[in-house]
Structure 1
């Protein structure tokens, strides 16, 4: 591995800057990895979509390391650190293209990321691997016991470095060109079941001022209420200002984001939400960016309401997008039931890995 050179990933002021090469490489390599691993390049955001988040360190610090062989990019590791007081996690992404797999670059980048996390006092290390929906000789089962994934060069390297497969997430897609009758029927049935105590709100980012506080409260619940197995996540702190910052990051490169939320009328609390996001290219794949029903309001079919209402709204907003992509934990059977009932089908999987060091 002596011919591998590691350098810090430079975050440019703009993508037109003279030092923007690393960041362009990150965007291109992210899409290449998604294509090579699961045949879905649109799973990865572009460099333009990522840059606003990397430039703003208020809520999350993102940094990277670039591996080069004879001047060519042979891999990139990224490290993301939540900025809440007491946060102990470090989230990694290790990107090594097929042409350079199995040459020790995965381990070198992972160890560089771990060294950075140690220097910042983080002891809970996490990363995700992508997998095709196929059977293989060596299949991996997470600690949750739900779902299985075929091993890959990266998952083998991660496992060898002491990480444990905690959870499997299913990536599903819905054909937006299909007949919406199932979605319409599901929404109507769910609204009848929920009754008059629940009211729908819908908007495009940026979030209206009068909804920011309520939206902040339900966004905070994603870090504590979503099924995560034994993956440890810091309880995020949210307020209206953080919503404004997030809105700016998500729309900073021309993306469109539609939100449907449900208010509990007796309390005025926003208790469920669903987000759909698309890049500036409105003919690209749509991504479900977040969906949650607050734990104390589950059982009223609010997940069906926010998901179906937003999908129907989206068909009018972005009629040229062919599909919606979403990730759900394999143990999150209530949300998978909703997805399956309205036509989502599995297209890939992700493995959630964790390692604790002291």
Structure 2
């Protein structure tokens, strides 16, 4: 690395369009450019307000941004985050565009991520890489054996640094501009199959007080009930306050979330849920966040039920959004089967990497 490069921590601005927000906006631009380059789609871009809301709130996750400057300009970045309640790992996102690769920038940023992980006393560091939907070159197979990703320079960097590709996720999209007859038909079939023990409940955040505790419990199960391969995942503890903080971050970032859930009538607990989210610009892509059928309620077509119900509810919220983008583990065949039956098609892929520190 030459002497014109300087690695330093970025100070966050108070608001995304303030006079001191120039460097932060450069990081947002870099993030979106790297996502588009690596995945081959613009669907994964984030608005400045969305990213800043998550970075500034440190109650549940603390994130530090380290940037590499060259003559003042930002030419690389790594964001290192860790959950405040869960003790095992850090998650990092390393961003360098192809024209700046191979000059030691990526190596220095990766080393800084590991240094931060060790300073926190954590034993695991994890990251997710993006990959195009099709590749004719070499590929890497994850430890699960499900799926492959393109063997990119970032993948090679991580592998050479001792990281293991633990899992591959498929990024799929659903066309919101087409007919919804099939979605409606599958919803009706799912409601009939679920029977009288299950009823559909829907809301737009903030979550109604009466559903907060049940929603918190369901969110906590995302850490235990979804396929994660050999990734070190702490069981998360959620309560009403944590749900509220999450929703406040979304609202502060200009985002709107619709939740469709199924309530188990005999117990009153939520058995399944699906989340759709869009930013302040309602003509942009919709993102599906969490979808889960709790393990003890599987086999009743609840996954199909909540997904179809939210897709049918969504045009009332964002009628001009062109599509829904979602990620699912390649080994999660039940959820991928649902997606494919509804009409989701593959767009890109993500690789989940992990390094265990000695």
Counting only pairs closer than 5 Å after superposition, residues 14-53 of structure 1 correspond to structure 2 as: 14-53=15-54
In structure 2, the residue corresponding to 1:58 is in which secondary structure?
Answer: coil
Q: What displacement does 1:253 show?
A: 2.4
Q: Deviation string for 1:98-141 (max 9, x for gaps)?
A: 22122222111011011011101111110011001223331100
Instruction: State whether structure 2 residue 175 is matched by structure 1 residue 153.
Output: no
Q: Deviation string for 1:146-184 (max 9, x for gaps)?
A: 001111111111111110000000000000011111111
RMSD of the TM alignment (CA)? 1.1
**Residue number in structure 2 paired with 1:6:** 7
Do 2:27 and 2:74's aligned partners in 1 also have CA atoms closer than 8 Å?
A: no
Return the alpha-carbon distance in structure 2 between the equivalents of residues 108 and 36 of structure 1: 21
Q: Deviation string for 1:68-116 (max 9, x for gaps)?
A: 112221111001101115x110000001112212222211101101101
Return the alpha-carbon distance in structure 2 between the equivalents of residues 114 and 47 of structure 1: 26
**Residue number in structure 1 paired with 2:57:** 56
Return the alpha-carbon distance in structure 2 between the equivalents of residues 105 and 155 of structure 1: 15
Q: What displacement does 1:309 show?
A: 0.1
Q: What displacement does 1:24 show?
A: 1.1
**Residue number in structure 2 paired with 1:177:** 177
Return the alpha-carbon distance in structure 2 between the equivalents of residues 136 and 89 of structure 1: 34
Moved over 4 A (4+): none
**Residue number in structure 1 paired with 2:318:** 318
**Residue number in structure 1 paired with 2:236:** 236
Return the alpha-carbon distance in structure 2 between the equivalents of residues 22 and 215 of structure 1: 37
Return the alpha-carbon distance in structure 1 between the equivalents of residues 241 and 39 of structure 2: 37
Q: Unmatched 5+ residue regions in structure 2?
A: none
Return the alpha-carbon distance in structure 1 between the equivalents of residues 321 and 164 of structure 2: 37
* TM-score (normalised: structure 2): 0.97
Return the alpha-carbon distance in structure 1 between the equivalents of residues 102 and 261 of structure 2: 45
Return the alpha-carbon distance in structure 2 between the equivalents of residues 196 and 5 of structure 1: 63
Q: What displacement does 1:45 show?
A: 1.8
**Residue number in structure 2 paired with 1:165:** 165
Q: Deviation string for 1:5-46 (max 9, x for gaps)?
A: 101021122223343223212211111111111232231322
Counting only pairs closer than 5 Å after superposition, residues 63-142 of structure 1 correspond to structure 2 as: 63-84=64-85, 87-142=87-142
Do 1:136 and 1:151's aligned partners in 2 also have CA atoms closer than 8 Å?
A: no
Return the alpha-carbon distance in structure 2 between the equivalents of residues 276 and 185 of structure 1: 20
**Residue number in structure 1 paired with 2:188:** 188
Return the alpha-carbon distance in structure 1 between the equivalents of residues 103 and 343 of structure 2: 41
**Residue number in structure 2 paired with 1:343:** 343
Q: Deviation string for 1:251-279 (max 9, x for gaps)?
A: 21221110001100000001111000011
Return the alpha-carbon distance in structure 2 between the equivalents of residues 255 and 356 of structure 1: 35
Instruction: State whether structure 2 residue 252 is matched by structure 1 residue 248.
Output: no
Do 2:94 and 2:110's aligned partners in 1 also have CA atoms closer than 8 Å?
A: yes
Aligned pair count?
357
Q: What displacement does 1:242 show?
A: 0.8
Return the alpha-carbon distance in structure 1 between the equivalents of residues 45 and 28 of structure 2: 8
